[in-house]
Amino acid sequence: MTQLKGKVALITGASRGIGRATAKLFAHEGARIVGGARNENDLTSLVSEIRAAGGEAVAISGDVADETFAKALVDCARDTFGGLDIAMNNAGTLGDLCALPDMTADNWHHTMAVNLDSGFLGAKYQIPAMLARGGGSLIFTSSFVGYTTGMPGMSAYAASKAGLVGLALNLASEFAGQGLRVNAMLPGGTDTQMAREVASTPEIEDYVRNLHALKRTASPDEIAQTALFLASDASSFTTGHAMIVDGGFSIHRA
């Protein structure tokens, strides 16, 4: 399948979880991948897997809260593959899980930097590169937490992820006339290393599963399919949308 044939896609948080699954799916669909994350070893194995399957990929390790890293990723897309068509700002952190009165300012600012500031920094360099190609698709990985629900101990995470929705909607308004579509993707519970930090016992895992109408959590591959929809021409009339992909968590209260 080649829904993204000829496209260049940049994905942050590409080393694990949703980002890794999306990078592999996009490559399978014909995109040339630029991956970014902190863990160099995981990125190396990702690139090897994509190339072994016949795809094209490069990766750079770094901190998404660092503006020089945001620029370096876009420069890499231009220098290696000639430009940029798709960008998925996906890297994130839970931060410390605690009640707000017990939260340190350092934790608040770190969570905001990784989850929200990184979206600003990424978009700052990604948008001009995509506009130079006549437009493209810009995706932010937000969360249902902070949008349709709240969870104890996750105030910094919720606020940062809600901020990404606002950023996506505003950028969609600013750049729609130039061929750039901007959307936020809001996954529900997904079987990732980060999610396991919240659901840290079998009892909590079972509780979280039952909060979803589908009575289960998602695999990263399932969420990657939604990212593919937003990246591809299948969503050519979709912009400024907060797309909830939460297995019915937001409507299930029984």
Rounded to an integer, what distance in angstroms lies between the CA atom of residue 57 and that of residue 251?
39
Answer yes or no: are the C-beta atoms of 89 and 137 closer than 8 Å.
no
Kindly name the residue from 125, 147, 157, 207 that is annotated as catalytic.
157
Rounded to an integer, what distance in angstroms lies between the CA atom of residue 248 and that of residue 51?
36
Answer yes or no: are the C-beta atoms of 76 and 7 closer than 8 Å.
no
Instruction: Count CA atoms within 13 Å of residue 169 on its CB side.
Output: 9
Instruction: Count CA atoms within 13 Å of residue 130 on its CB side.
Output: 27
Answer yes or no: are the C-beta atoms of 35 and 46 closer than 8 Å.
yes
**DSSP, res 218:** B
125 an active-site residue?
no
- Residues tagged active-site: 157
